[in-house]
Amino acid sequence: MKVLFTYDYGTEKMTKVKQLGYEIIYKYEGTIENTPDIEDIDILICYNPFSRLDISKLYNLKWIQLSSIGIDQVPKDIVLKRGITVTNNKSGYSIPIGEWIVLKTLELYKNSRKFYKNQENKIYKLDTSLLELYSKTILFIGTGSIALEAAKRFSGFGVKIIGINTSGRNVEYFDECYPLEKLNDVLNTADVIVLSIPSTDKTYHLIDKERLKLFKRSSFLINISRGNIIKESDLIYALKEGIISGAALDVFENEPLSIDSPLWDLDNVIITPHNSWISEMRNERRFSITYENLKRYINGEPLKNVVDITKGY
């Protein structure tokens, strides 16, 4: 079986794949294009080559393993028409993103951004506006593996953790969970709202002007999922007018964030460049998931992290 990698995991790891019985082809994702040597591949291991690579011309392609959690980049019409299996990197980035959520929550509560600016300007000044996280309520909109890792880390802070998911099912480390249709009922109970829900047609602009009005004025919003879950213009208005206290944003409706965006100039916003998933373990974890699935595939066993293309996650 032929497998096309668009990322080189190094000699040792690629040799392990060959030892499973695969023929490996490597093409750098940034310059990949359709060529005769890849048209009969069985498996594609990649992040997002789809703007350069027409998978409809890969006549033998049966399975795509993504290095991402999100599947926005996948040409869903071709995948559905051809019956191609898609698996993702669910749980592969959950630990660093979970840590990032805790970090940014504390930075918002302790006004770290102001201290960093003061340090740059050599200003030694007490800030008496700092808050405690203790006894606050944290709401996760989406209770998947990322939310679970963050909730696990919050459990030592003396906070109440509530979650929103499709059915309202109970999730470990959460005190309460509610179905998505109850979102409006619980928004005003939360001090911190974390968006950790997949990007789908149903979640597009889930957070808009009307929902932002339901937030506590003292609340903070954290987004590590996808930028289009928030209507960005409405969020900017809410941040400027004090409808919410602040936000930590790692994702945006359009990336990279335009230099003209008003978000850059707001003192109550922390901006990072879609960076929350990064850690020194990222390659180890995504290769581990890839390798496990390659073993399963060649042995005819069920794959891990199979995505429902119609649902979007």
Active-site residue set: 226, 255, 274
Dihedral in degrees, nearest 10, Cα atoms 135, 137, 138, 144: 110
SS3 per residue for 267-293: CCEEECCCCCCCCCCHHHHHHHHHHHH
Closest CA to 17 of 282, 286, 298: 298
Task: Pull the structure tokens for residue 96.
Answer: 């660093």
d(CA 251, CA 207): 14
CA angle 205, 207, 208 (to 5 degrees): 80
Taking CA atoms, 35 is separated from 18, 30, 221, in Å, by 22, 15, 46
Residue 167 identity (one-letter amino acid): S
